[in-house]
Structure formats: C-alpha cells, structure tokens
Copies of this chain bind each other. A is one copy, B any other.
Amino acid sequence: MLLHLSSSSSSTSLPSSTVLDPLFLYIDEHQNEFVQRLREWVAVKSDSNDHTLWGEIHKILNMTANRIQEMGGQVEFADIGTQKLSNGESVALPPVLLAQFERDPNKPTLCIYGHVDVQPAKKEDGWSTDPYSLTEINGNLYGRGATDNKGPVLAWLHALETYKASKQEVPVNLKFVIEGMEEVGSDGLDELTRQRNESFFSDVDYIVISDNVWVSKRPALTYGTRGSSYFFVEVEGPKLDLHSGVFGGSVHEPMTDVITLLGSLLDHTGKILVPGIYESVAPLTEEERKLYKDIHFDMEEMKNNIGVKSFLQDNKEEILMSRWRYPSLSIHGIEGAFSDPGSKTVIPRRVIGKFSLRQVPNMDPAVVERQVKEHLQEVFAKQKSPNNLKVMATVGAKPWVANLNNPEYIAGRKAVKVVFGVEPELIREGSTIPIANNFQEVTGKRVMMLPIGGHDDGEHSQNEKISRYNFIQGTKLFVAFFYELSKLQKDQ
C-alpha cells in the first residue's frame, strides 16, 4: 500500500488551476440548477422494494438516459430478466442502463456505476419533511435518495455537463452502468456484467462507485469492504411445541441447545471463538497501521450518536480496525422461539439461531463456513442432545480491498486535495457492498469507491439528506477526478 504521494505533479500540460478553475466556476454558477434537477429526481418514487412502483424506476431510468443522450451519449436498456412475485406472477425487472460516449483510444476509460432506485420512505415513518419533495434546511437537502444514490449519480452527470457546457474536452472516455434494483440486491446485475464482460466492459480501465459516505467531516476514499456470511443454526426436537410445566425438566429443549451453540461463538471482548477463524486474516503491516492514525474519527461523538457508554476497544485505531479490517460476529436473533411481548410458557419444538460473520481479506468464505460448522457440531456433540442440528450458511459477498498505489486512487487523492485542500481520509467500510468485489472479480478491472456523501447523511434512514456543500463540491471532485486520472496517464 502506497503512502507517499508525490505532491509535485511534473505535468507537461497546463497547470491544473487553468483547466479546473473555469469548470469550478461553472459549477458554482449553476448550482441552483443542479439542486433543481436533484429535486426533480427525488420527486420520482423509485422505491424498488415495491414492485407496484417499478414504473417509477422506468421513469427515472428514462430521465437518466435522456440526460446522457442530450450530452451525446449512446444508451441501451439491458434486459435482466424477470422476478417471481410471492403471488406466483412473474414481472419483468427494470432494465440496467448501459451508456457510452465516443471513444478516444488515447484517454483512459472510466465506467461509472450508480443506482437510481431508493429505499422505501413515508412521511409517517418519522420524516420531518415530505421524503419525495427535496427540502433545503440549513444547507442540507433532505429527501429520499438525496445521498443514496441519486445525488452522486447526478453529480457525475453534472461533472460531464460542466466539461461539455464549458467547451472543454472531456479528458476521459466515460461509460455508465445505472441500475434500478440496488436496494433489493442488484438482481441480474452480476449476470449482466458476466454477459457483457467481453463487450461493454472490455475496454474499461477503471470502475468507480460513489455509493457510500465519508467517515467524518473530511473527504474520504474507500479502499475496502468486509464480506459477509449469514448462518442459520437450526435445532429441531419434539414434533410439537410442548408445555413447559408439563414437560420442563424431562426433555432436551431445542432452545437450550441453540442458546449453548450461540453462546459458544464469541467471548465478552467480541473475540470469535471458532477455532482457526483468524488464521487467514491479512496481517497488519506497519504501513497500514499508520493509515489509521490520520483518520478523523471522534470516539466521543460516535458514542453520543449511537448512545453507547464505551466501545470494545479503547482507542480510535483499534475501533476502526475492528470495524474494517478484522472479522466480527453478530448474533441477530432466533426464529421459532417466543418473541412477542408477554410471558408465554412454551417449549418451542424447532428454533433457528441466526448470526452473521463479517469477513476480511484474506478469509475464504468456504473455509469460514467449514470452520463454523465444525465448531458448532463439536459443541453440539458435547450437549449429548437427541435433537437434530442443521447448520446452513449463505455467502452474502466476499471482502474487497483495493491497492492504494493504483492510478485511480492516486488521481482520487489529488482531486480531493485540489477541491477540498486536504488529503482524503483513506477508509474502508465495515459493511458489505457486494458490487465492488463483484465487478472486480468478474471484469478483473480496477475498482474504486469515491464517496461524496457526508458521514451524517442517514442513508436508509428517515431524513436522508446530502448537504448542498457535498453535492456541489462533490461535482467539482468528479470534474477534478476526470482531469487527474487523464493527467496521470499522460504523465506516465
């Protein structure tokens, strides 16, 4: 991982300010138009969770396509098949929008991924404003999709518009992959990527994703995400639920087994007790350790935000590492047991404990699955229970990590410096964003995550927002990123 970034770029081209200053001026002067366009986009209720609203997804995809076509791009609505609804009916999935512009072989080709569907939102869920009516309060633009992910998608389009309107040559070849099913698991996208790997993706140099947020008030580049496996530990006993008064004390209760199994997974420090689980975790290098020093993470502020008295670790670096670069295990609940308010005295016949294990490089989900299953089977054997144990796992996604020495990260760092005047924080995501790893695995292309959303944007929550500052400076960041990426190529 590179840490020393040459600060003098010995370019033969014009000084960056000559190129970028007029572009930035254009953005500042047109910011109200950009916000207005975001307002129009937010007004489209493209909630992918509700298939009766998929018409709205078609609408926003068309709006996106029109904008791209107006700027000279070619668009294709790629069919990704159908989905079976719970009533048995099959419905066509909203297509994925693939777009490209005339290609200059001397420029690097950047493929931008984004999505225009949103999470559900209703005023009565606790929104202070109408979620589908973008509302500016104290410099923040509140509305569903403002930061996730309509704002960033628009910022990319506005960055392109800025070059075009300013009669400046766009310094990179651009492609777009814009989908409408991200919030429900990106149905069909992986398959489409595979299908188009030899065509659409073949001349792509970089794939960039702007679908996450910073970790503090400072801009950030994201170079890693954790993977995830979800485990179901099912213990089945009697053929019917039993009365705990009548049978309590005489039968092996499935709940006792499941509680023991779940209780064997981790200790009070959060350490995972599954033998071998830490074996393939990438060792922490001195270089990587230093990365964590520079991150502005306010432990006290975070404690207040989430309302905890302490973390499992007692300093910033260890907290961040435990979230980003070490595996973790969380127990989520038990299906089949009594979960309502009140005091039912049932012995449930069949219960399913549920937990997930976040994985990091270089853990292999298949090995993890085997280790967890063996561990649980061993613990269960000691229970001498006549009940049946079944352990099932689903792999959500593999962990992903990028090399910070890659040109896209160097360009990103330079662009951040130009726009914000500071070095970006180099961060990871503790959560799982399958798209980054999926693109990288299928296409073999370099993938980067370049967020412009603020750390307090509240994706998926009530009162989602993007600040006007982040939306407009983010547009500048993308403009500068195009420039730095192409300059880097020329400099090489």
Contact = CB atoms under 8 A, between A and B. Distances in A.
Interface of A: 226, 228, 230, 232, 237-240, 242-253, 255-256, 259-260, 262-263, 266, 268, 270, 306-313, 319, 322-323, 326-335, 337-341, 343-349, 354, 356, 358, 382-386, 394, 429-432
A478 to B, nearest CB: 25
A262 B432 CA distance: 30
B252 A310 contact: yes
Most chain B Cβ neighbours within 10 Å, of A239, A249, A309: A249
Contact of A339 (B323, B335, B382): B335
B338 A333 contact: yes
A245 B268 contact: no
B307 A332 contact: no
A346 B356 CA distance: 10
Copies of this chain, complex-wide, total 2
B259 A328 contact: no
10 contacts: A238-B307, A244-B358, A245-B430, A247-B323, A248-B329, A251-B312, A252-B308, A263-B263, A332-B348, A333-B337
Contacts of A334: 333-334, 337, 339
Given A244-B358, A266-B256, A250 B337 contact: no
A245 B260 contact: no
B322 A249 contact: yes
A332 B341 CA distance: 12
A323 B347 CA distance: 14
A343 B354 contact: yes
A263 B266 contact: no
A323 B354 contact: no
Given A256-B331, A383-B268, A240 B354 contact: no
Contacts of A262: 259, 263
Contacts of A246: 323, 429-431
A429 B244 CA distance: 11
A330 B260 contact: no
A384 to B, nearest CB: 6
B385 A328 contact: no
Contacts of A344: 332-333
A463 to B, nearest CB: 13
A384 B310 CA distance: 11
A251 B303 CA distance: 10
A430 B255 contact: no
A206 to B, nearest CB: 25
B308 A237 contact: yes
A333 B258 CA distance: 11
Given A250-B319, A310-B386, A343-B354, 11 more contacts: A239-B307, A245-B429, A245-B431, A251-B312, A255-B332, A256-B266, A308-B386, A330-B347, A332-B344, A335-B338, A335-B341
Interchain residue pairs A-B with the least CB separation, the first 9: A239-B307, A245-B431, A249-B328, A333-B338, A333-B337, A263-B263, A248-B328, A339-B339, A309-B386
